[in-house]
Structure 1
Amino acid sequence: MRTSLTILSLIFFTAPGFYAQIEDITIGSPAWLVEIYFSEAQFAGKTKYFAGEMKEEEYEPTIGEELKGTATISYHEILSENMKAVYAVEVKLNEDIIDFYCYMLETNDGWKIEAVRRFLLPGFIYSTKDSLSQISNLSSSDGELLKIVKLLTSSDAELKNYFQKNVNDFYKLVLYLEDEDEKNIQNLLNELNIDAVFMDDKFPGCIFLQIGAFDKTEMGYFYSGESSSLPKISPNRFIYIEEILPKWYIYKII
């Protein structure tokens, strides 16, 4: 179930290293860790709840500490298996939305955060969007470029909405690829502002619809056909995978 709250509105700090129950969330659970890490203005004794690379973050502020209770967060679980849990976390600060991904591991000593990731594109993508957005009368080519960079910089929620709005065309792309219909593929890629559609030998049965790729960074959607081998969520590669519709997923790679 998706949870939404204003930072500090539902959480209160009682004593160093001790936190009160947050409504119906169990203390020490993955959801509790997400609440504390992303929304609490002080996470006392945080290293007790860190594992792996996060142990090196002892003297670094958490997201909640850095924002000092000025944002609104919402989150939901996108993976729960084999003593691992991954949550997608949306942080809204004024009009800006930042998507984070929190990876947790269940140990003999309870649940711990082992990594936190954020998907970032090259800086020129954001500056291009800002510059073009301030121009009232764009040329046709600049207008198309603005559509592309807006899609590239969309939040996860916006990417889901974009897919739902154009779902029939995405299905057509899959069919055109299977039929090797290059002309219709290119026309539809242009209409959808999608960079490429392809299959990857590493993931048999999956068809990737790439929105954009820069060096090792990549984002888009993929379709999983029959007997497909899906990529796995990892803080080191596919940092975000979430099912939108049966057989359809959003993905982000770093």
Structure 2
Amino acid sequence: MRFLIVLLFLPLAVLADESRLVKQFFGQDGIKNKREVYAGEMLEHYLDRPTLGETLPKGIEVSLRALEKNPQREIYAVLLSKDGRSQDWYIYLVNDQNKWKISAVRNLALPGLFFMALQEAQSKANRTKEEEHQYQNMLLTLQLDSELKEFLHKNIDSLNTLALEAKTSQEKATESAKHLNFNFVGYESISGIVDVNIGGILDNSVGYLFVPTGTEVPKMSDDNYIYIEHIVGNWYVYKTT
């Protein structure tokens, strides 16, 4: 009987390790036994590199929330904050023979060209209508997850209208989306999913998804939708890479 009890509680003990591992990766002391707790690309490319936490300035506040948890995989959103500035990261863990290991770490990777354009727009005293749209679009693209969710809540009626318009005309929906400083609106007729793209560059983008009831929400992965989170009703926020 005692042997059976140990077996029953073993998975619970294992499951308690993953959040501690995430905190270690983003902590200043880092991870000493990387070979034991890295998997996939982390094991292949980052064994001899410091963890993200080891490269950060002192005093960074780290908070995390689970985006997905199942026996095989867990994904966490991690918010790093200091002196009123914050940044969102996403970390992927896999269960390898009852041991949790870090397989990938992501954030919205925008190239230097994006920030050069943003700086140029900020420096202009008088922006044209199109320049102002691009400027506001870039600012919205850089919003935190929490801010993106709040933005949708404030503009839910307009977003619902966009979702309806997209079913009949993506062009009309995209034109309407410009008033909210979005990039474009796409519609997938087979699934019924509406993609309200906020902005970004190439495959590194951020936006909202309207997923009809009964339709499967796209899966998160470290090579496509690096972040998907439900907001309200049929609406989700996403980031890609």
> Shorter-chain TM-score: what band?
0.7 to 0.9
Question: Aligned in 2, Cα 1:26/1:84: closer, same or farther, shift over 3 Å?
Answer: closer
Give the CA deviation at 1:95.
Answer: 4.2
Instruction: Return the letter of the residue paired with 2:89.
Output: F
Structure 2 distance, partners of 1:156, 1:35, is 19
**Counting strand residues as a fraction of each chain, which structure ranks higher?**
1
Query: Is 1:114 the counterpart of 2:67 in the alignment?
Result: no
- Report the CA distance between 1:217 and its aligned residue: 2.4
More divergent stretch after superposition (39-48 vs 85-94): 39-48
In terms of mean alpha carbon deviation, does 207-216 or 79-88 score higher? 207-216
Q: 1:227 pairs with 194, 208, 214, which one?
A: 214
Structure 1 unpaired stretches of 5+: 1-24
Corresponding residue for residue 39 of structure 2:
51
Q: 1:211 pairs with 177, 188, 198, which one?
A: 198
The 1:41/1:188 distance shift into structure 2, 3 A limit, reads same
Cα distance in 2, alignment partners of residues 152 and 167 from structure 1: 18
Match of 1:245 among 212, 229, 232: 232
Q: Report the identity percentage.
A: 27
* Contact persistence 1:41–1:68 (CA under 8 A): no
Given that residues 222 and 249 in structure 1 are in contact (C-alpha distance below 8 angstroms), is that contact kept between their aligned partners in structure 2? yes
Aligned mates of 1:158, 1:229 — CA distance in 2: 25
Check 1:67–1:114 CA distance in 2 against 1; reply closer, same or farther (3 A cut): same
- Corresponding residue for residue 17 of structure 2: 29
1:133 aligns with 2:111: no
CA distance in 1, matches of 2:105, 2:111: 19
Q: Output the CA distance in 2 between the equivalents of 1:162 and 1:176.
A: 20
Residues 206 and 229, structure 1, Cα contact 8 Å, conserved in 2: no
Q: CA deviation at 1:83?
A: 1.5
2:7 — aligned with what? none
The match for 1:80 is 69
Report the more deviating stretch, 138-147 or 151-160: 138-147
Tell me which residue corresponds to 1:198: 186
Within the alignment, does 1:41 sit opposite 2:29 as a pair?
yes
- 1:15 — aligned with what? none
- Structure 2: gaps spanning 5 or more residues: 1-12
1:70 to 47, 51, 59: 59
Runs of at least 4 residues of structure 1 off by over 6 A?
Answer: none
1:92 equivalent in alignment to 2:81: yes
TM-score normalised by length of structure 1: 0.80
2:151 aligns to what SS in structure 1?
A: helix
The structure richer in helix per residue is 2
By how many angstroms is 1:187 displaced?
4.3
SS for the counterpart of 1:116 is strand
Q: Structure 1 residues 176 and 240, CA, compared in 2 at 3 Å: closer, same or farther?
A: same
Shift of 1:176: 1.6
- Verify the 8 A CA contact 2:133 2:178 in the aligned structure 1: no
- Aligned residue pair count: 228
CA contact (8 A) 1:239 1:252 kept: yes
